[in-house]
Structure 1
Amino acid sequence: MSVLHPYFIVAIVYMLFFSIQEVFGKKVDKKWLWFLGVYLIILVGFRDNVGPDYGSYRGLYIYSDTKSYESIFLKMLHMEGSDHLDVEWLYTLVNKLLLNVFDAPFYVLTLVVAIAAIFFKVEYTEDNTFYPFTFTLFMFVPYFFVGESGQIRQNLATFIVYFAIRYIKQRQLWHYLFFIFIASGIHTVSYLFLPMYWFARVPLSKTIMLLLIIVSVFLSPFEVYRVFGDFLSGMASDNVLVEGLNGYMDESIERLNGGFGIPEAMMMILTFFLFAFDTKMKELYPYYEYHRAYAVIGICFYFIFRNNPVFSSRLVGAFIGFSFVIIPNAMYVVSSGMKKMIYAFILALVIFNIIVFCSFNNIKVGRFTTELYNNHILP
């Protein structure tokens, strides 16, 4: 088993310290969350040849300079120019500007993307849970290494969309559409969130939720997603980046053919929390119904796309990443004794995820170990 670099262990200990305080003490000032955010920006923004897709993104960075501004503008309008863009217009534009205007090295791009991603991550976390450190700790492994340090385009785009949930709450449609537009310029998976402005407010009883999930499980072997063809393929694929993803996310043949693995276990856990605490969450937690809607869609999508390792990770992950907020939020609506049990369970999951992550090849492929991790400014 490999060991995470001490820089990441420091972040975990920091989150654990404030997590205990916010759960069993008083609310932690937001400035401490921002301190964590700055530290994570340094770790991921200045990383040097770290991350499963690092080489692919670096090649894409240089290649973006061959695209004309006219083609980028036409791509924004969903039209094709003289140059074919391999990725979305806004991401290509940022790449090209950094090269043309500033002649910036590649780590400047990773820094810019990290700053934007962490900003939106901190804001949506603070907006949607009373336990931001607990939620961030819960999601740190493996999501920080697959997201901020891996699939940086989809990661940034989904954080922008998560941030925009505040405009669903405020019923500001044009604000929400603007952020969907910006996020879609980074990754087309953002279009999946467009209907959420209306669907998030649809009432879902336990009976309806159960029916939707059962139907999705039943549809799983039939691969009904193939009906959408290139539409979903375009959202899930990153062209030159798919190879990097496949080398990092190891999907066993047994699990894809009906076996049981960690993803299925996490779906079961999320489903349990969804049903076990639904009544109390509706009564006591503001905007819980929105979280529930994301969770139901994520669970259903997971089973529908289960036979496709790219769809079941990229498309589903966009929804599941937000819906996991239900698990720490459940502590807000239960008794003191139950809160301790839930918190102990969350810590057990954190430890389990770290052990699994360090046991598999993922940690070495991503170069997150003590021996392999490098940073441009840290020793």
Structure 2
Amino acid sequence: MERKQSVFVWIAGILVVIAVGFRINVGADYPVYKMLFRDFSIYVNYGDVWDKAVFRPNTVEIEWIFVLLNKIIFDFGLPFYMVTFVMAVIAVSLKFTAIYKNVAFPTLALLFYFMPIMFFEDSGQMRQGIGIAICVASFKYIKERNLLMFLLCMYIALGFHKTAIIFLPAYWIVKIPMNKTRIFWVLILSLLASPFELYRLGGNLFSSMTPADISGAYTGYLDDRYYGTQVETGLNDIVKLIFIAILIRYDKDGCEEVWWYEYMRNLAVFGMALFYLFRSNEIFAVRLPGAYMFFVTMFCMPNLVYAVRDRTKQILYVGFMSYFVAMFFYFSKGNGYRGGFTSDRYNNALW
């Protein structure tokens, strides 16, 4: 696979780190993270963090590496934007490196990342954003079949966000033989199973196989007052259906032209299946497939543009660019303004 435009990839990465890392009062969760920065440093000691790291009983409710990062920066007397900067460096460098190494058209993949992943994850739900980044980086060890390093990545990812546990089966999912027909039926059966809320059966499984804080978080959101409702039907469904059609239609092209495409595709299909299985619970449908969905938009779609030829390549490229432009205006009018990302509301510590 030919890799192009590396200079532009890294220039974009530096600009994103500056914009995301040094932002001030920008992002949906910014006030909460800033409050936690103070609280962790005052009410949590390093012994509590260690207990959390080795799964001993403790009173820390947030993931231990995130707490440790906050506490170290606070104890050095540094401002909160150093937390966002360090997290941006880790998340962006891992994601951009994975994209550069695994995607033939990295610039197209970065457009998918910019709109809207950069805003929702790395500028909003930062803990999950960095957890997803580590999961994506672990793809290197999935390809190498290095189970020990993969599990180490999962442990570190869990230190930032509990949802990383859902990526654990990825090491084995990539080996499942798939084709167009199997992809179609996996997704159809997931959609048909959605009303039955099969994810409720996972409460007992998580209780017996995962640490208490992970199982507690899972069961706590089963009937959450605000997020435990069904995902609303809308533009998101249309986009997913288009992506599914492209995955199925050009599966053979991807397998023939792109290294490791079968692995990427399996993870993408599993992410789509998870979305439909969890559709009756909004927070599960949005949060849990996150790492897998990264392989849909940032890996599979740009690589399929590379794999196909002539007019098909042009149609897919124009279609994805149209989607990017539409998302730009759609996001700007809603979440962009509310999150403080517009030109009149955005603030940065460097200027």
TM-score normalised to the size of structure 2? 0.90
Distance 1:278 1:172, change over 3 A: same
Distance in 2, Cα, partners of 1:228 & 1:333: 38
C-alpha contact (below 8 Å) 1:127/1:166 kept by paired residues: no
Q: 2:344, 2:219 → 1: CA distance?
A: 31
| Deviation per residue, 1:200-245 (Å, 9 max, x gap) | 1111122222222111111111212122238477567999xx99xx
For the residues of structure 2 that align with 1:234 and 1:42, how far apart are their CA atoms? 36
Deviation at 1:122, TM superposition (A): 1.1
Unaligned ranges ≥5, structure 2: 207-213
Q: Is the 8 A contact 2:21 2:85 kept in 1?
A: yes
Indicate which of 326, 348, 361 corresponds to 2:300: 326
TM-score normalised by the chain length of structure 1: 0.84
In structure 1, distance between residues paired with 2:150 and 2:178: 23
8 Å contact 1:236–1:310 — kept in the other structure? no
Q: 1:312-357 CA distances to partner (integer Å, 9 max, x unpaired)?
A: 1111222112222211111222112211111100101001111211
In structure 1, the gaps of 5 or more residues are 1-25
Is the counterpart of residue 80 in structure 1 residue 57 in structure 2? yes
SS at match of 1:48: coil
2:164 and 2:136 map into 1 onto residues whose CA distance is 10
Tell me whether 154-163 or 210-219 shows the greater mean CA deviation. Answer: 210-219
**Would the aligned equivalents of 2:203 and 2:218 in 1 still touch at CA under 8 Å?**
no
Separation in 2 of the partners of 1:302 and 1:266? 13
Q: In the aligned structure 2, how far is the partner of 1:43 from the partner of 1:237? A: 36
- The equivalent of 2:48 in structure 1 is 71
Q: Quick one: structure 1 residues 181 and 197, their matched pair in 2 at CA, closer, same or farther if it must change by over 3 Å?
A: same
Alignment of 1:226-265 (within 5 A): 226-229=200-203, 231=206, 256=230, 260-265=233-238
Question: Contact 2:64–2:159 (CA<8 Å) still a contact in 1?
Answer: yes
State the shift of 1:369 in Å: 0.9
Shifted more, 196-205 versus 157-166: the winner is: 196-205
Which residue of 296, 316, 336 corresponds with 2:269? 296
- Aligned residues: percent identity? 32
Separation in 1, partners of 2:197, 2:157? 28
Counterparts of 2:35 and 2:316, CA distance in 1: 44
* Bigger shift: residues 324-333 or 271-280: 324-333
1:41-96 Cα distance to aligned partner (Å, 9 max, x none) = 11011100000000000111111111121121111111113xx1121111111111
CA RMSD across the alignment = 2.3
| Displacement after TM superposition at 1:260 (Å) | 3.0
Amino acid at match of 1:87: I
* Structure 2 residue corresponding to 1:48, chosen from 12, 24, 35: 24
| 1:31 matches 2:4 | no
**Aligned: 1:58 with 2:34:** yes
Cα separation, partners in 2 of 1:191 and 1:123, compared to 1, 3 Å? same
**Residues in 2 aligned to 1:56 and 1:208: alpha-carbon distance in whole angstroms:** 43
Q: Residue 64 of structure 2 is aligned with which of 75, 89, 92?
A: 89
Give distance in 1, aligned partners of 2:348 and 2:265: 39
Is the 2:95–2:133 Cα contact (8 Å) retained in structure 1?
A: yes
The 1-side partners of 2:19 and 2:291 are apart by 23
Aligned residue pair count: 338
